[in-house]
Amino acid sequence: MADEGQGGGKKKLVIIAVLAVALLAGAGVGAWFFFGGSSPEPETAQSGSATPSAPAVVESAYYVILPQPFIFNVSGDARDRLVQVKVQLMVRGDSNDAAARQHIPLIESTLLQTFGAATVEQLRTPTGRLELRSQSLAAVQEALLKVSGRQAVERVLFTGFVMQ
């Protein structure tokens, strides 16, 4: 009887060892596919044939924080509201970052004009705020295009929005 108890323990030990080896092998194969699997994309890039559909190199994104939040009044149906908006600008590359920082007073003036045209009904809804953001982007890009010859700003971001 003592021999049967030891034989059953050895079987369990062998089964556990086989399962552990299989688990480690599976993890190794998964890691190889995830981290070191060969992909055809780098090979085509090294072949030297430039195709017209090759994506352009995307420059790093920089965020220009406007120093002061915008505080303005908007007229509503029952009463006027006070709105405070904190804005950041997303630009790509060092040259666009420098252009945006150089023209911050122009950008602030343009944004204040755009925000002043907004209504309470527009600012109450998320779609209205998205519309205001896209109008702000278009206005800032147009103003920068006139001054610097390029649309340095890629996105206008509202990082704080309070309406009382």
On whether both 88 and 130 belong to a single domain, the answer is yes
On whether both 39 and 91 belong to a single domain, the answer is no
How many domains is the chain partitioned into structurally? 2
On whether both 85 and 151 belong to a single domain, the answer is yes
State the pLDDT at residue 36. 60
Residue 53 maps to a domain: no
Residue 66 maps to a domain: yes
String of b and e for 33-70 (b: at least 16 CB within 10 Å)? Answer: eeeeeeeeeeeeeeeeeeeeeeeeeeeeebebebeeeb
The pTM score is 0.62
Q: Along the chain (164 residues), what's the average pLDDT of each consecutive run of 10 residues?
A: 61 84 72 57 47 66 92 84 93 91 93 90 89 94 91 92 90
On whether both 66 and 104 belong to a single domain, the answer is yes
State the pLDDT at residue 47. 46
8 A C-beta contact, residue 82 and residue 118:
no
Domain extent, residue 28, equals: 2-46
Angle at 47 between CA 44 and CA 49, to 5 degrees: 90
Residue 67 maps to a domain: yes
